[in-house]
Amino acid sequence: MDVKVQSLIEQFGITEQTREFLAKPKYMYIDGQFQSDLDRPTIAAINPCTGGKITEIPLGTAADVDTAVKAAKHAMYKGEWSKFSPRDREQALRKLAELIRENAQTIAEIESLDSGKAISGCKAVDLNVAANTFEYYAGWATKIEGSTRDTSFPVDCVTYTRKQPVGVVGAIVPWNWPLGMAVWKMAAPLAVGCSIVLKPAEITSLSMLYLMELAEKAGFPKGAINIVTGKGSVVGNAIVEHKDVSKISFTGSTNTGKIVGQAAISRVAHATLELGGKSPMIAFEDADIDALAKNTLGSVYFNAGQVCSAGSRLYVHRSRYDEAVAKIKAIAEGIKLGPCLDPETVMGPVINKTQQDSILGFIEQGKAQGATLVTGGEALASDGTFVRPTLFADCTNDMTIVQEEIFGPVLVVIPFDTEEEAVELANDNIYGLASSIWTKDLSRANRLIPQIDAGAVWVNIHDPGDPAMPFGGFKQSGIGKDLGPEQLAYFLETKSVWIKI
Ligand code: ADP
């Protein structure tokens, strides 16, 4: 471990469990074993606050994916996992949620160090997302059902449909919510009895490896969950192309999602793709602008803006435009940037230098294209990859910063005059992940909900979340849904059964 990371740890302290976990060498988790015998090249896990190395993560190979898929297949069709009753699955999922809550401080420390997330937000949001999602799908394990059908077929038959798990699930997740997104991918398939081969993002694998220690304690048998760490082009690609992976569940960028989706369809495998976003917020003349400004802390300024559903485009009625800009500026300037482990920190760094450079590049483009930089717009002088919360006014829809996903703490503001214009501007984007409407007039909100081209429309709030509510985009934001009962359907095949009597 680099001395810079050590001194960060010494300054803020971590639990003894976190220390022990970080001190151990890291191995992939396949067939119920941490693979200490595999000699693989490694990639450094870097702490984004300091730029220092935390530990090393093995770079898996296509052969490791094959071993993991074989283990997953055996577990699901022949091994102990195949013998788990719905109630057994429910109990294992519930136990895992309980262990996440019991070990919340340790998981938050690991996640915060690895991803740079402010530990306060990590505890308040990421940990609850994970535990709540496992608990929600635990409840579904015992409620999978088909239906009997009355047919008009001339021969007497008993006819019914039967739901059964789709097979081995290949899950590929990004670095912005390493734990949360992975749990979104794991909970529903485990509830219905699928087994999983999951690849974390190569730069944020630590929380998944820790989670496997808890999964063992929760009673998941070998092969039910397998973690293969490594690169997207190697491990991710091998998962997508493996003939025995029946279903791909992917969250990441739209560009990578297109590659993954094409590879999956070329061998007729199911794929759910949760991709990018550039989600609009539309504030009318009667909007509560104070509430909207405050909500940016839970959306575009949360997690340093690395949130796919972030409200990153704000359309405001011209009569409230100046007020909105002034109030959001005050919020943005009040955000405390700092080291991830500091409980007082509200915003940590972005994930790495590549991402920081990309965000700063967008900011330069915004300035060059004539947007007014109201606040932020720069990096901090620090070893960490911090970007100040940024607000652009006087934007127009043709600007790059209005059209493209920046995936950083950057909000753009655009005025409008009529309701029709607002909807047109909001829909004028390749993405359609989420949106919000800010108005006291619920008749207007209801009128607009069907007109907004997005997988979610929130009214007077942006970025709420609960496992009961499906999440997934329209247009280039994706195919399919995570969460809710809707997600279960992606992991179940329907079998038509006819029995002549
Ligand atoms: P980002 O641009 O935010 O890093 P990506 O979409 O590239 O997001 O990555 C999301 C996940 O997809 C990561 O786990 C990454 O390693 C993986 N990945 C990247 N390229 C591929 C690929 N060709 N096939 C499968 N997975 C990939």
Q: What is the pLDDT of residues 424-469, one digit of tens each?
A: 999 999 999 999 999 999 999 999 999 999 999 999 999 999 999 9
Supply the pLDDT for residue 31: 98
Ligand 1 centroid to Cα of residue 236, in Å, is 7
Q: How far is CA 74 from the centre of its chain?
A: 28
Supply the pLDDT for residue 91: 98
Q: What is the mean pLDDT of the chain?
A: 98
Rounded Cα–Cα distance for residues 220 and 91 (Å): 10
**Which of 43, 231, 256, 265 best tests ligand 1's pocket when mutated (most atoms within 8 Å of CB)?**
256
Regarding the beta carbon of 253 and ligand 1, being less than 6 Å apart is answered yes
Q: Which two tokens stand for residue 78?
A: 């022949």
CATH 3.90.1490.10 corresponds to the domain 279-466: no
Residue 229: count other Cβ atoms within 10 Å of its Cβ. Answer: 28
Q: What is the pLDDT of residues 130-140, one digit of tens each?
A: 999 999 999 99
Q: What is the pLDDT of residues 326-377, one digit of tens each?
A: 999 999 999 999 999 999 999 999 999 999 999 999 999 999 999 999 999 9
Regarding the beta carbon of 276 and ligand 1, being less than 6 Å apart is answered no
Q: What would the mean pLDDT of 202-224 be, rounded to a whole number? A: 98
Ligand 1 centroid to Cα of residue 358, in Å, is 17
Residue 497: count other Cβ atoms within 10 Å of its Cβ. Answer: 13
In SS3 terms, 143-209 reads as CCCCCECCCCCCCCEEEEEEEEECCEEEEECCCCCHHHHHHHHHHHHHHHCCCEEEECCCCCCHHHH
For Cα atoms 102, 106, 111, give the angle at the middle one, nearest 5 degrees. Answer: 125
Which of these CATH numbers, 3.40.50.300, 3.40.718.10, 3.40.605.10, 3.10.20.30, describes 29-41+60-275+480-496?
3.40.605.10
307, 176 contact by CB (below 8 A): yes
Regarding the beta carbon of 189 and ligand 1, being less than 6 Å apart is answered no
Which one of 49, 194, 308, 395 is the catalytic residue? 308
Q: What is the pLDDT of residues 31-88, one digit of tens each?
A: 999 999 999 999 999 999 999 999 999 999 999 999 999 999 999 999 999 999 999 9
- Rama region for 484: left / alpha / beta (φ>0; ψ in -120 to 50; rest): left
Portions of the chain given CATH number 3.40.605.10: 29-41+60-275+480-496
Q: What is the pLDDT of residues 294-321, one digit of tens each?
A: 999 999 999 999 999 999 999 999 999 9
Q: What is the pLDDT of residues 4-23, one digit of tens each?
A: 999 999 999 999 999 999 99
Regarding the beta carbon of 174 and ligand 1, being less than 6 Å apart is answered yes
Q: What is the pLDDT of residues 118-159, one digit of tens each?
A: 999 999 999 999 999 999 999 999 999 999 999 999 999 999
Write the DSSP assignment of 222-235 as a string of letters. TTSEEE--S-IIII
122 as an active site residue: the answer is no
Regarding the beta carbon of 256 and ligand 1, being less than 6 Å apart is answered yes
274 as an active site residue: the answer is yes
Ligand 1 centroid to Cα of residue 132, in Å, is 26
Portions of the chain given CATH number 3.40.309.10: 279-466
**H helix or E strand, kind and range, residue 482:** none
Q: What is the pLDDT of residues 163-194, one digit of tens each?
A: 999 999 999 999 999 999 999 999 999 999 99
Q: Which two tokens stand for residue 461?
A: 């709030």
In SS3 terms, 306-375 reads as CCCCCEEEEEEEHHHHHHHHHHHHHHHHCCCECCCCCCCCCECCCCCHHHHHHHHHHHHHHHHCCCEEEE
Q: Which two tokens stand for residue 130?
A: 């994970």
Ligand 1 centroid to Cα of residue 487, in Å, is 21
321, 365 contact by CB (below 8 A): no
Which one of 90, 135, 274, 405 is the catalytic residue? 274
Regarding the beta carbon of 480 and ligand 1, being less than 6 Å apart is answered no
Q: What would the mean pLDDT of 271-280 be, rounded to a whole number? A: 98
Q: Which two tokens stand for residue 312?
A: 């990153």
Ligand 1 centroid to Cα of residue 15, in Å, is 32
Rounded Cα–Cα distance for residues 202 and 424 (Å): 39
